[in-house]
């Protein structure tokens, strides 16, 4: 791995290298998906559709313009799976794997880029963290692939079952919504299957917690403590999973198009799965077009929130929302500091959380307004699709295959921004910021 780029180091900052790296992988994936070997005989794939598919896979989203299970050959499906793996773990993580295999030294510049890609505060122990990321990810995916394969052998030939098991384990752990069951069915055929649901939910949750959290949990028996970050992630993840499960169950309990026709066991698994998948996984076990509007709105909110920092998930992240609620609570209580688990959080963290949420809202609202003009469908469907793309979720109400050229390009932009990260993308596009040599006098304006 050698990322020594010619030119001024101020130009090739870590955020810019990360954004460029993802763009290069998307373009490479696009050309591979256009090869005749990638799609079924007699069916061509335009560059735009190949670019859209490669973007969706690399940004671990799952929105598709052609059916993955029936349109692509095993070669094309393998290309998509590799793009999902690279995009989920990060191209710098995969580059580090290659460097470690060939015993190459990780330079200081490369460590800086790794720090940016993993959203870490400093470089200390970054290579050790990357090794853990690779080990945990491949181990979890292997277990998931084995269980999936054994279960799918009941419905498919052994060879196909093994390939399906590997593909869906990689797709679900990396919180991508791609599936191979054909006809855009996703996991609807297994809505009440305990094995498929349980394994899928575990893969999604473990992928969405973040690698720092996984490391903390695995080493808890040795260290006997959890970091503030891990506690915050577990708190928000638990709240969102429980709240989503209860609300989906209440909203859809009597809906004949979703939960109404299912047994008690089916209702339980379908509600729990939908609560889990809405925060960036993209798979579904019920027909999304049959959901009630209250459930669709809840889904949009959950997609916007997403998973946790340093994970395979997208969205504004669970800790960002926790900080925002913490700031509101502190204001209502008349306190100057935001306190979590007896730790005071710095103002720069609050400002960063506020920046991410406002930036994300502006991006999604702007994209929704443009799509409302370019696409012939209702407002809620457009908002759902735009939020799904930004949150790198992959859930769809059926609009994606019928998008116009402008719509496809805009959705690609949303997926790219959601995967690279709003702050990283802003730093990549913005000129070098110099520190202000002075501070202005404090002023006051009326609020509220």
Nearest CA-CA partner of 390 in 327, 300, 261, 311: 300
pLDDT at 439 exceeding the cut of 50:
yes
The confidence band for 115, taking pLDDT boundaries of 50, 70 and 90, is low
Segment 106-112 long-range contacts (CB within 8 Å, at least 24 positions apart): 106/1, 107/2, 107/3, 107/4, 109/3, 109/4, 109/9, 110/1, 110/3, 112/14
**Whole-number pLDDT of residue 438:** 65
**Whole-number pLDDT of residue 12:** 59
Distance in angstroms (rounded) separating the CA atoms of residues 403 and 389: 13
285 or 423: which leads in pLDDT: 285
**Whole-number pLDDT of residue 135:** 84
The confidence band for 122, taking pLDDT boundaries of 50, 70 and 90, is low
Nearest CA-CA partner of 387 in 356, 358, 365: 365
Mean pLDDT of 170-174: 92
103 or 336: which leads in pLDDT: 336
**Whole-number pLDDT of residue 33:** 93
127 or 79: which leads in pLDDT: 79
pLDDT at 99 exceeding the cut of 50:
yes
The confidence band for 118, taking pLDDT boundaries of 50, 70 and 90, is low
- The residues, any chain, with a CB within 8 Å of residue 51's CB and separated by 6 or more, are 26, 27, 30, 412
pLDDT at 1 exceeding the cut of 50:
no
Q: Is 0.85 surpassed by the pTM of this model?
A: yes
The confidence band for 271, taking pLDDT boundaries of 50, 70 and 90, is very high
The confidence band for 336, taking pLDDT boundaries of 50, 70 and 90, is confident
Q: Which of 42-56, 132-146, 430-444 has the lowest mean pLDDT?
A: 430-444
The confidence band for 113, taking pLDDT boundaries of 50, 70 and 90, is low
Mean pLDDT, all residues of the chain? 84
447 or 420: which leads in pLDDT: 420
Residue found under tokens 């990810």? 137
Distance in angstroms (rounded) separating the CA atoms of residues 5 and 7: 6
Mean pLDDT of 260-270: 93
Q: Which of 8-12, 94-98, 163-167 has the lowest mean pLDDT?
A: 8-12
**Whole-number pLDDT of residue 44:** 77
The confidence band for 117, taking pLDDT boundaries of 50, 70 and 90, is low
Distance in angstroms (rounded) separating the CA atoms of residues 29 and 228: 38
Distance in angstroms (rounded) separating the CA atoms of residues 291 and 295: 6
Distance in angstroms (rounded) separating the CA atoms of residues 281 and 303: 9
pLDDT at 77 exceeding the cut of 80:
yes
The confidence band for 6, taking pLDDT boundaries of 50, 70 and 90, is very low
**Whole-number pLDDT of residue 338:** 85
**Whole-number pLDDT of residue 215:** 82
Terminal Cα distance for the chain, rounded:
53
Mean pLDDT of 219-248: 89
Distance in angstroms (rounded) separating the CA atoms of residues 51 and 57: 10
């Amino acid at each position: 791995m050698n990322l020594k780029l010619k030119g001024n180091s101020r130009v090739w900052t870590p955020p810019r290298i990360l954004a460029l790296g993802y763009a290069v992988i998307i373009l490479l994936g696009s050309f591979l998906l256009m090869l005749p070997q990638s799609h079924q005989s007699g069916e061509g794939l335009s560059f735009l559709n190949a670019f859209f598919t490669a973007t969706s896979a690399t940004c671990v989203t799952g929105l598709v313009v052609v059916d993955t299970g029936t349109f692509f050959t095993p070669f094309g499906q393998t290309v998509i799976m590799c793009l999902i793996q690279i995009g989920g773990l990060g191209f710098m993580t995969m580059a580090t794997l290659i460097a470690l295999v060939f015993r190459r030294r990780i330079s200081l510049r490369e460590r800086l880029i790794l720090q940016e890609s993993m959203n870490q505060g400093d470089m200390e122990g970054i290579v050790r963290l990357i090794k853990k990321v690779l080990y945990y990810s491949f181990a979890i995916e292997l277990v998931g692939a084995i269980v999936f394969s054994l279960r799918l052998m009941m419905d498919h030939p052994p060879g196909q079952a093994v390939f399906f098991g590997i593909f869906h384990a990689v797709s679900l752990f990396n919180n991508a919504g791609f599936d191979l069951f054909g006809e855009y069915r996703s996991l609807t055929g297994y809505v009440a299957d305990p094995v498929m649901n349980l394994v899928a939910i575990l893969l999604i949750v473990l992928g969405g917690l973040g690698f720092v959290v996984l490391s903390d949990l695995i080493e808890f028996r040795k260290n006997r403590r959890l970091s503030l970050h891990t506690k915050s992630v577990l708190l928000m993840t638990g709240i969102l999973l429980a709240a989503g499960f209860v609300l989906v169950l209440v909203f859809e309990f009597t809906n004949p198009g979703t939960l109404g026709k299912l047994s008690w066991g089916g209702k339980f698994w379908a509600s729990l799965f939908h609560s889990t998948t809405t925060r960036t996984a993209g798979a579904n076990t019920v027909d999304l077009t049959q959901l009630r509007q209250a459930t669709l709105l809840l889904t949009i909110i959950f997609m916007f929130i997403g998973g946790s920092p340093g994970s395979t998930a997208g969205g504004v992240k669970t800790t960002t929302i926790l900080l925002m609620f913490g700031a509101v609570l502190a204001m209502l209580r008349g306190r100057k500091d935001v306190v979590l688990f007896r730790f005071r959080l710095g103002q720069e963290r609050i400002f960063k959380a506020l920046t991410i949420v406002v930036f994300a809202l502006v991006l999604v609202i702007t994209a929704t307004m443009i799509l409302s003009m370019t696409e012939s469908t209702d407002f809620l469907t457009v908002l759902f699709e735009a939020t799904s793309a930004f949150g790198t979720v992959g859930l769809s109400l059926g609009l994606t295959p019928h998008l116009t050229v402008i719509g496809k390009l805009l959705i690609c932009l949303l997926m790219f921004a959601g995967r690279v990260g709003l702050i990283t993308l802003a730093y990549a596009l913005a000129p070098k910021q110099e520190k202000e040599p002075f501070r202005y006098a404090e002023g006051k304006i009326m609020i509220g």
